[in-house]
Structure 1
Amino acid sequence: MWELLLIFSLLCWTSEGSVTCRNENNGEVDWYILYKTPSIKNQLQGVEYLYIDSHGMRTANKAISDSQGVLANTLKPLFNPGGSMAPNFGFISYSDQTPNSNAPQNFGHSKGVLLVDKSGTGIWLLHSTPKFPYAKDENSFWPSNGVKNAQTFICVTFPYDQFKKIGKHLQYIRAFPFDHRIPGDFHTELQDVVNKADVPPDDNFQQLSSNNRFNFYSIAKNIQSSADGGDLYVTISQRVSSDLLVQTWGCQAGRDTSFCRKNKFKVENIKMIETSLSQWKNTQDHSKWCVAKDPENNWMCVADVNRAQSQYTRRGGALCINDKRIKDIFKNLAKESEDCQNRSLLDILDVLNLRNFLNILNPDCDP
């Protein structure tokens, strides 16, 4: 009898389709990016978001926490009742801020989920939301703390062979796996992630090909190098040969000013985001992303660390795209930045060690 039940469960698994990124209608997509809004009094509840894929950007119809929404549809293989998972399926949920605790500081400041079907495809979902996914359940996967601030998600569908490279990247950034199931015949690199192998990063820049052959690029900063001072975004600017506009957590303790050295590509902090839904300050935005500032350069990256002295000694990385349409979308979201031409007051505040104090006094920043 149990053999029949096993066969039935495997048939049900197959009928639901491949392990891929999925849209609001549960349709398979090659990739998407979500930009969730912060909670803004009398404007937004903090569950609205913009949905971006190969067709462009639009406002989502369902809340990001919806049990039939984009994230729930994508994570459905993780929500199997009773924990019954196909033998060729594996997953890794990693985060430095798990549902129950924080990871040790020697692990990377990174967050994401891998869902992998060894016989077909899998997904890599990078994000910036602490305690996500909160549970392996479609009705409680979204954490209550995920409402207040803006967050980003990028999901890409990859063939199984690409997870060998992805496993290397997760080792380079020393991702902390807080929940996982990786069968013994999966890539050794994924086994090493689960076993918390400590592999020194080498500033690795890998090309990854999605299921529909769209090129992505993973980059891991080399924390041993003094060339970038441990700033991931300086590393990225050098790699893509462009000045950058960068969005990172505006309330981060020890937040750094824009990087404006002579004869170097500049890295300018974004101060204000403007979307079709509303606009908000970087103190209300916990996402981490950057976009090329130069008109002829089309790089955009979703990253995992903030621009702050306390994070320059921690590992980190990003998933990047070289695509004009995506670059233009994100560059247009940056309404105001900390321009290198107007930094004198910020420099004075840094010298007096007052800038972080002002962040603490900001009503948008937690004490």
Structure 2
Amino acid sequence: MTDSAKTLSWDSIASLPFLHCDCALTTFKMGTQWSSIQKRLKLVFWGPLSCRHLQISMALALSVFVLLAFTVCDAAISCQNEAGEPVDWFIIYKLPTHKIGEVGSGVNYMYLDPSLETWQLSKFMINSSQGAIGNTLSQLYSKAIVNKTSNAAYALYNDSPPVLKYLRGYGHTKGLLLFDLHQGFWLSHSIPHFPSFPEMGYLYPSSGKVNGQTALCVSLHYDQFLHITQHLVYLFPRFYNCSVPSAFATKLPQLAQLCAGHRPEAPSNKKMDQLVSRQGEMFFTFAKSERFVDDIYTGWVAQVLNANLLVETWQRQGHDLPSNCSLPNHVMNIKRIRLPGSVPFHSKYDHSKWCISWAYQKHLTCLGDLNREVSQMWRGGGLLCSYNTLIYKAFRQVVDWYIGC
């Protein structure tokens, strides 16, 4: 059998079933990276090829294509679910050590994302690098991010940072941003001394075991990080580790200023804004500076959203604000929590900060930064809110007891 000259089109390569990688092919076909692939492949498929040569050349070309395709897929920064797969958002609720009539490990947690109907007890522990938070933060701790800071920006903030001494004057807020010029994630949480510095790898603080904690991760397109930066200007977080390369600093100058320890001027004492996740989920934010001297729940959120609120925050005896029914929309303190399949626990062992609408019809849920305490009326802090029915039902069902009006 004689070898006949063969040619191979780029569309036929891309259509091969074992080369399908949605995020890579979309990027390649829509942008300059696909042209770059074509140029590389032309070095292999140059001119007429014999059948034997075609087989060898095709194998080499496909190896290059698959390597580049999977590199692009792996490089997409986003929240990661329990299996290490990209997810639009997730929430974890870590159980406290002390529950009613029971002492636990303090590292078990419940997990929720758009694929679930309600809370799911994780098979992982929060002090393990496995699980949703460990998987998500592995993108920060990977050498690809730490050693190639020109390709990504990150910012870690916590009023009680790991290792460092506590300093006054900053907002009462905790979180992490990690993104490139395409997308990234925002992890907002309640855990002191967390997360650890990138060079140290994933470490969960022993101080974070005692009380209940929550964390909300949202995957976002790059343009949404301008909104987050403006939100953080009001809060004035304590950034303890940052990398904002010049490619990002020109578009997000306020983030670069905050990371450098400077405080950009906020145009007012509070701000509402809107965020859209990568999959189109609508969130909205409340941000207050220390110049807005009031309980964020009573004096602002409940009134502007025209909703009575059930609020769960860490309430230390003698410091907590009582349920408030003096304004048109009331704020009522939750005192006991019962997550599905778990023993209930009191709010004094819960360091999380969240609220929901008392009326089921509203479907409002917010997770945030501030406790209902007198001292925190003078602190910067905020909330990330949603009208997502799944999130609302998950939080509404865990309210075991609250102080009404």
Q: TM-score, normalization: structure 1?
A: 0.83
Is 1:204 the equivalent of 2:271?
yes
- Paired with 2:215 and 2:307, the residues of 1 have a C-alpha distance of 24
Partner of 1:31: 89
- Aligned-residue sequence identity (percent) comes to 32
- Paired with 2:310 and 2:200, the residues of 1 have a C-alpha distance of 35
Partner of 1:333: 398
Shift of 1:327: 1.3
Partner of 1:365: none
Is 1:251 the equivalent of 2:316?
yes
8 Å CA contact 1:35–1:51 kept in 2: the answer is: yes
Partner of 1:51: 111
Deviations 1:292-335 (A, max 9, x none): 11222111000101111111011111100112221122121111
What is the identity, as a one-letter code, of the residue corresponding to 1:231? D
Partner SS, residue 362 of structure 2: coil
| CA RMSD after TM alignment | 2.2
Partner of 2:258: 193
Deviations 1:265-308 (A, max 9, x none): 11111100011222100011000000011222111000101111
Partner SS, residue 142 of structure 1: coil
- Paired with 2:164 and 2:402, the residues of 1 have a C-alpha distance of 34
Shift of 1:252: 6.4
Where structure 1 has 5 or more consecutive residues not aligned to the other structure, the ranges are: 1-8, 341-367
CA shift in 2, pair 1:222/1:176, >3 Å: closer
Is 1:273 the equivalent of 2:273?
no
Shift of 1:86: 4.7
Is 1:233 the equivalent of 2:297?
yes
CA shift in 2, pair 1:223/1:59, >3 Å: same
- Paired with 1:157 and 1:252, the residues of 2 have a C-alpha distance of 37
8 Å CA contact 1:171–1:192 kept in 2: the answer is: no
Which structure shows the bigger proportion of residues in helix conformation? 2
CA shift in 2, pair 1:124/1:243, >3 Å: same
- Paired with 1:309 and 1:316, the residues of 2 have a C-alpha distance of 14
Shift of 1:81: 3.6
Partner SS, residue 286 of structure 1: coil
- Paired with 2:197 and 2:245, the residues of 1 have a C-alpha distance of 21
Deviations 1:214-258 (A, max 9, x none): 101011135445xxx511112111122101011111226621111
- Please identify the structure whose Cα radius of gyration is greater: 2
Deviations 1:75-121 (A, max 9, x none): 11211249313522010000100112355332100000000111x11
Shift of 1:159: 0.2
Q: How many positions carry a matched residue from both structures?
A: 327
CA shift in 2, pair 1:331/1:81, >3 Å: same
CA shift in 2, pair 1:139/1:63, >3 Å: farther
Correspondence list, 1:1-367, <5 A: 14=72, 16-40=74-98, 42-55=102-115, 56=117, 57-81=119-143, 83-118=146-181, 120-136=182-198, 140-186=202-248, 187-195=252-260, 196-200=262-266, 201-221=268-288, 223-225=290-292, 230-234=294-298, 235-251=300-316, 254-261=319-326, 263-276=327-340, 277-340=342-405
8 Å CA contact 2:321–2:372 kept in 1: the answer is: yes
